[in-house]
Amino acid sequence: MFAERGSWVIFASIFVALFIVAIPVPVSWRGFVPDWSLLVLFYWVLALPGRVGVLLACVVGVLTDLLDGSPVGATAVGSVLAVLVILVSYQRIRQFDGLKQSLVMGLLISLVHLIEQRLETFLGWQHVGTDFLLPAATSLLFWVPVRNCLRSLRRYYEVQ
Amino acid sequence: MGWRATLAIGCCLLLLFYFRDHPALEAPRQFTLDTAAIVYRVAAAPKSAFVGLGDFFQSHSTLRSEKERLEQENLVLKGQTQKLAAVLAENGRYRALLRSAETLEREVMVAEIIAMTAARSRHELVIDKGTADAVHVGQPLLGADGLMGQVVRVGQYSSHALLITDATHAVPVQVLRSGVRGLAEGTGELNRLVVRHIAATTDIEEGDILVTSGLGGLFPAGYPVATVKTIVKQPGSSFSQVMAVPIASLDRGRHVMLAIELAPSGSQ
């Protein structure tokens, strides 16, 4: 996976996404920040299912957890499951138009957050209300721009 | 695909439930915490540069009026400190008369806030002091006006501090006016605390100041925490619902203070 052509594009895009997640935002906006790292991960899985899979999903999940200080592994479990869903049905998801794809991504991201919330609650964290699902709604809006941007990157650097 | 996924999920669950507080992973934990702090610092760099540029180009008159304000404030504070010294001495004499326990003297260390962590459900700050500066888990975090929270994770050069408004945080408090004790719990909202265990007949009023009571031994006694905002007494319920607003400005400012516990100083 590391030696193949253009692997660095995949890793670089994920690191950039993690940096964007860490950019400070006003407290009242925090709930709305999209999950950039998950969107980027989902794009690469959808585009190159033979190459990017559950292991990278696990790594991205663990890095996200390390960054935001949540229990390490809570996001990773969800992202592995979500990526499994994409791996099983990527041919179908690719046929969808932008709107349908966005909805699928929104659903997958809310799945990740639901699992994360459950696991964190086991460990004594407390979530108030259903606000933890808000990022799924905002991520959904950003799926098409992220996809188009990464697609042109992929074509430019001929990552296959 | 299947076995890889099983392996990945297994590893994650192991990390979550077995290695979460395992001492063997202390070094990597500290390393990743410090690395995350660097990421936050880099991500905040454009914003800090922008703020710095704004400071640089501040007009002369603004700076002068700011200086005047600070000088006045300094004078007032100095005056108050003088009074404080007298009060402390008096307090020490009373304590000696009452033969009460020794008080702990505390000093503070200033730390800079790097960022608020990206975990949305959590009120956690990243600060730039770690074990290299003798920061330890449980150390109280103070703002200019009052208590802000406590350190929950330490790296070598950075640490994470949980704010008092986090939904999992609670601090034992006391009403400054009447001495009534309670427990101020975070609600997950940055401007609201709920005070538990206040009986309906208790002497508490809107506008009362809550200070740390020192019970539990974690927080030093006497630091301001919150102002009581609303008190709802429901007929039939033996407790009143008390809401309070934190005194420290939790989402503003760039510096915080970490309280350092010194050896017992005896009666001052």
Tell if the CB–CB gap between A81 and B40 is shorter than 8 Å.
no
How, if at all, do strands B104-116 and B209-212 pair? unpaired
Mutant choice from B32, B42, B47, B120 vs A, greatest count of A C-beta within 10 A: B120
* A126–B12 CB contact, under 8 Å: no
Token reading at B8: 């990945």
Q: Residue holding tokens 């074990």?
A: B131
**Radius of gyration for chain B, computed over Cα atoms and rounded to the nearest angstrom:** 22
Interface size A-B, in CB pairs within 8 Å, comes to 125
Report the pLDDT value the prediction gives residue B246, as an integer from 0 to 100: 94
B265 vs A112 pLDDT, higher one: A112
Distance separating alpha carbons of residues A63 and A84, to the nearest angstrom: 19
Residue A2 predicted with pLDDT over 80? no
Q: If you average pLDDT over residues A51-65, what whole number do you get?
A: 91
pLDDT band, residue B268 (cuts 50/70/90): very low
pLDDT confidence bin for B105, thresholds 50/70/90 = low
- Measured from the Cβ of residue B145, the count of other Cβ atoms closer than 10 Å reads 13
Residues A44-55: what's their mean pLDDT? 91
pLDDT tens for each residue of B4-53 = 889 999 999 998 888 888 888 888 889 999 999 999 999 888 888 888 88
Mean pLDDT taken over chain B: 86
Q: Are B146 and B162 in contact (CB under 8 A)?
A: no
The closest alpha carbon to B204, from B181, B223, B183, B185, belongs to B181
Q: What percent of chain A has pLDDT over 70?
A: 98
- DSSP tag of A23: S
| Separation between Cα atoms, residue B99 and residue B267, nearest integer Å | 9
Q: Beta-carbon neighbour count of residue B250 at 10 Å?
A: 21
- Predicted ipTM beyond 0.90: no
**Nearest chain A residue to B39, by CA:** A19
Higher pLDDT, A146 or B88: A146
Domain boundaries, chain A: 2-156
Smallest CA–CA distance from B12 into chain A, residue: A73
Rg of chain A in Å (alpha carbons): 15
Q: Under a CB-based contact definition with an 8 Å cutoff, are residues A75 and A63 in contact?
A: no
More confident residue, B253 or A142: A142
Distance CA A79, CA A93 (A): 17
Provide the pairing of β-strand B181-186 with B193-196: antiparallel
Residues A134, B46, A12, A115: what is their CA dihedral angle, to the nearest 10 degrees? -20
Query: For residue A14, how many other CB atoms are within 10 A of its CB?
Result: 21
pTM for this model (two decimals)? 0.84
**What pLDDT, on a 0 to 100 scale, did the predictor assign at position A1?**
56
| CB distance B146 to B163 below 8 Å | no
What's the rounded Cα separation, in Å, for the pair B51 and A155?
38
pLDDT by residue (tens digit) across A105-120? 999 999 999 999 999 8
- A62 contacts on B by Cβ (under 8 Å): 12, 15
pLDDT bracket for residue B99 (50, 70, 90): low
The pLDDT of B116-130, averaged and rounded, is: 89
In eight-state DSSP terms, residue A73 is: T
Question: A66-95: b or e for each residue (b if 16 or more CB lie within 10 Å)?
Answer: bbbbbbbbbbbbbbbbbbbbbbeebeebee
pLDDT at site A20: 92
SS3 letters for chain B? CHHHHHHHHHHHHHHHHCCCCCHHHHHHHHHHHHHHHHHHHHHHHHHHHHHHHHHHCCCHHHHHHHHHHHHHHHHHHHHHHHHHHHHHHHHHHHHHHHCCCCCEEEEEEEEEEEEECCCCCCCEEEECCCHHHCCCCCCEEECCCCEEEEEEEECCCCEEEEECCCCCCEEEEEECCCCCEEEEEECCCCCCEEEECCECCCCCCCCCEEEECCCCCCCCCCCEEEEEEEEECCCCCCECEEEEEECCCCCCCCEEEEEEEEEECCCC
DSSP A5: T
First-last CA distance in chain B: 69
Predicted confidence at residue A105, as pLDDT, reads 95
CA B127 – CA B113 distance, rounded (Å) = 5
pLDDT at B267: 36
CB atoms within 10 A of CB A131: 14
In degrees to the nearest 10, what's the CA dihedral of A36, A37, A42, A47?
100
Task: List the single residue in A with minimal CA-CA distance to B10.
Answer: A77
Predicted confidence at residue A93, as pLDDT, reads: 94
pLDDT over 90 percentage in chain B: 40
Average pLDDT in the B77-87 region? 86
- DSSP letter for A32, please: G
CB < 8 Å to A126, chain B:
121, 167-168, 188
- A80 contacts B5? CB cut-off 8 A: yes
Dump pLDDT digits (tens) for B188-216.
Answer: 888 999 998 888 888 888 999 999 988 88
What's the mean pLDDT in A131-150?
92
Instruction: Output the pLDDT for position B101.
Output: 56
pLDDT > 90: percent of chain A:
68
pLDDT-derived band at B262, boundaries 50, 70, 90: low
